[in-house]
Amino acid sequence: MDEAHKLSPEVLEEIRLLSNFELAESKLLQIVLAGQTELGALLNREDLRQLKQRIAVRLAIHPLSQSDVQHYIQHRWQKAGAVQPHPFQPDAVTRIAQYSRGIPRLVNVLCDNALMLAYGEGQKSIGVAQIVEVATDLDLLDIRSRTPRTVHGALAAEQTSFERHPKAQGAMSLASTAGHRTANGPPPVSGPAVVPSLERYGANATKRTGLALLMNKLKWTRAEQKL
């Protein structure tokens, strides 16, 4: 059951009833509840205590450390079929770990966008400048201080199942997996939020952004294919 933290108490009670189907020597169903940190609070409800008592194993995926982010990027790079080391410079990996706060989904987004940006610029190596630009475009940075935005709510708890990562391997029975919050409340308000505008990618934009360069390159590639 993915996104189990969004299930209603009524549905969770039905899941509990399904767990009663068993033989004398074994269970007929193996149920895994996967969700964000809110799942723990949901299972602690008084009216769901019978379901909580049936949970045999509880596991949590913690945010990755900087070294874990380095290994994770290399692992994903190799799984994609690459034989050479990934193009992210050590300082860039440090920024990725900082801006993603160790959340695998944000690591993926930062890396994917940085690779597209490097392709648009014709670069084979990705440095700090590309990571900062990507993080800014994704609204992960405070524009004024260039520091990671405070993440709160569901985004901070978002995690992937992470099946192929060594920390996520192992058998689970009725279990809850979740990321950990990295903040205890909403971010401080220092002024009006800066929302990226499509105007910056227009023909009259004063700055040639990575996305604009990529779009221009793809346009010329398609034109060459037609010729």
Rounded CA gap, 158 and 70, in Å?
20
Q: Which helix (H) or strand (E) holds 218?
A: helix 210-226
Q: Are 59 and 176 in contact (CB under 8 A)?
A: yes
66-79 and 90-100 helices, crossing angle to 10° = 110
Classify residue 125 by its DSSP letter: S
Confidence of residue 24 (pLDDT cuts 50, 70, 90): confident
pLDDT score recorded for residue 199: 41
Residues whose CB falls within 8 Å of the CB of residue 110, separated by 6 or more in sequence, listed in order: 96, 99, 100, 131, 134, 135, 138, 140
Closest CA to 38 of 4, 62, 61, 2: 4
Rounded CA gap, 12 and 8, in Å?
6
Q: Which long-range contacts (CB under 8 A, 24 or more apart) does 129-132 make?
A: 130/92, 130/210, 131/92, 131/95, 131/96, 131/99, 132/95
Confidence of residue 213 (pLDDT cuts 50, 70, 90): low
pTM (global) more than 0.75: no
**Residue-wise pLDDT tens digits, 100-150:** 999 999 999 999 999 999 999 999 999 999 999 999 999 888 654 455 655
User: Over pLDDT 70: what percentage of the chain?
Assistant: 62
Phi-psi region of 139 (alpha: psi -120 to 50; beta: other; left: phi over 0): left
Can you list the positions of beta strands (E) in the chain?
33-34, 141-142, 147-148, 176-177
